[in-house]
Chain A
């Protein structure tokens, strides 16, 4: 039977698919909320333990 070959091919397909799913999100624009967040954090000043509210 070609079951073993199918398995190997399938694993390779899986790896390709994993990367593709991941890459799809990587390719997206970062939502504005994150830029805003970073700007807010920077505004809080150099104090590293500013303890922003949750």
Chain B
């Protein structure tokens, strides 16, 4: 029996790749395009993959490199938060839960790319800090710092939402928020 072709394994990682891509691009159409590019690249460069090592990590690395190089080249894309997230609104009749998920998704989309990436790799995909650091080409401390800052930022954004249903659309509202925050800090 010949050794299994690692390319046969690619299809198993597609859902995870899509999930990771969505969190990076915040836009479904772009995410799937990016996954497609990644699959082609992985396929034609499969000889660079070392059998027995973590294929998902290898694929995620190609994908995120693709994302960052496109980000440098391309015109800034509008984050289609609604497209990615509201389509996927939880169907569960969990009243508070659904509101919270909306708030979470909106807040998450506001984070810097590197923080979203770190949170998804470590918090959702289950990679260790060391693995995530290697995939992102940074030190472990940098990943930890991104995760912590991302979490703090999310907590802060969601903390606001819990207390007052804000749209943050007008300066009056922003002023109210600022006052509230100042009140909290004293």
B interface, how many residues as a size bin?
A: 35 or more
- A14-31 interface with B by 8 A CB criterion: 14-15, 17-28, 30-31
Main secondary structure of the interface of A (DSSP, over half): helix
- 10 chain-A/chain-B pairs, Cβ below 8 angstroms: A14-B155, A15-B123, A19-B123, A21-B105, A22-B125, A24-B19, A48-B44, A49-B44, A50-B44, A52-B43
Q: What is the chain B residue whose CB lies nearest that of A8?
A: B155
Residues on A with C-beta less than 8 A from B36 are 33-34, 37
Kindly list chain A residues whose C-beta atoms are within 8 Å of the C-beta of B125: 22
Contacts of B108 in A (CB 8 A): 17-18, 21
Report the minimum CB–CB distance from B147 to chain A (whole Å): 10
Contacts of B20 in A (CB 8 A): 22
Using CB atoms and an 8 Å cutoff, list the residues of chain B in contact with chain A. Answer: 7, 10-11, 14-16, 18-20, 22-23, 32, 35-37, 39-40, 43-47, 85, 88, 90, 100-101, 104-105, 108, 119-120, 123-125, 151, 154-155, 158-159
Known: A14-B123, A21-B105. A41 touches B155 (CB 8 A): no
Contacts of A38 in B (CB 8 A): 10-11, 39
Number of chain A interface residues as a range: 20 to 34
Are B101's CB and A17's CB within 8 A? yes
Considering the chains assembled together, what is the distance between the CA atoms of A28 and B97 in angstroms? 20
- Return chain B residues, CB-CB under 8 Å to A2: none
Determine whether the beta carbon of B15 is less than 8 Å from that of A24.
no
Given contacts A34-B14, A50-B44, 16 further A-B contacts (CB under 8 A): A7-B155, A14-B158, A18-B119, A18-B120, A19-B124, A21-B88, A22-B20, A25-B22, A26-B18, A27-B15, A30-B11, A31-B32, A38-B10, A41-B7, A41-B39, A48-B45
